Amino acid sequence: MIALYPGSFDPVTLGHLDVIERGCKLFEQVIVAVLGNPNKKPLFSVEERIEQIRCGTQHLNNLEVASFDGLTVDYAKLRNAQVLLRGLRVLSDFELELQMAHINKTLSTEIETVFLATSKEYSFLSSSVVKEIARFGGSVDHLVPNHVAKELYKCYARNQPQD
């Protein structure tokens, strides 16, 4: 069974990587699909985000990283994915994700949504929080892979914080 894990991943966090790794244990193949969301102004280009994810997931042999535009269910059908994989952190995520799952079901009855609760150590983590911390000069080394932390520090013209 093929699972599609869609998102903006701007940037990819350790929480995202946790969901990806766990998804790869559950499904034959996982496709991480990077969306260029027109409602958000991304820090990193789609190509940069794809490379960040690939760099952090080289050890996973049943993973593909790609990009798409348009409706998630249309891309899932195109890729023969039967499952949309979504991570849940807090109750507000559940409300939004459940609504999206119901909407997606009206668009395609063949595609199911599977929710994975994030590991507790990542339950507070979001890409937005990471960018805000980095923008104000805080350390994000414990929130994102090392290569992503370095790119964030460059973006915000800050040196890596010293302990």
Q: Which of 16, 49, 86, 131 is catalytic?
A: 16
- Residue 163 CA to residue 160 CA, distance in Å, equals 10
pLDDT attached to residue 153 = 94
The string of pLDDT tens digits covering residues 66-112 is: 999 999 999 999 999 999 999 998 777 888 999 999 999 999 999 99
Mean pLDDT of 137-151: 95
The string of pLDDT tens digits covering residues 14-30 is: 999 999 999 999 999 99
Residue 40 bears catalytic tag? yes
Mean pLDDT taken over the chain:
92
Residue 77 bears catalytic tag? no
- Residue 90 CA to residue 79 CA, distance in Å, equals 29
Nearest Cα neighbor of 34 from 16, 61, 18, 22 is 16
What ranges make up the beta strands (E) of the chain? 2-7, 29-35, 63-68, 83-88, 112-117
Residue 127 bears catalytic tag? yes
pLDDT of 2 over the 90 cut: yes
Residue 41 bears catalytic tag? no
pLDDT attached to residue 86 = 96
Q: Which of 25, 127, 128, 154 is catalytic?
A: 127
Grade residue 159 by pLDDT with cuts at 50, 70 and 90: very low
- Residue 98 CA to residue 100 CA, distance in Å, equals 5
Grade residue 32 by pLDDT with cuts at 50, 70 and 90: very high
- Residue 60 CA to residue 82 CA, distance in Å, equals 20
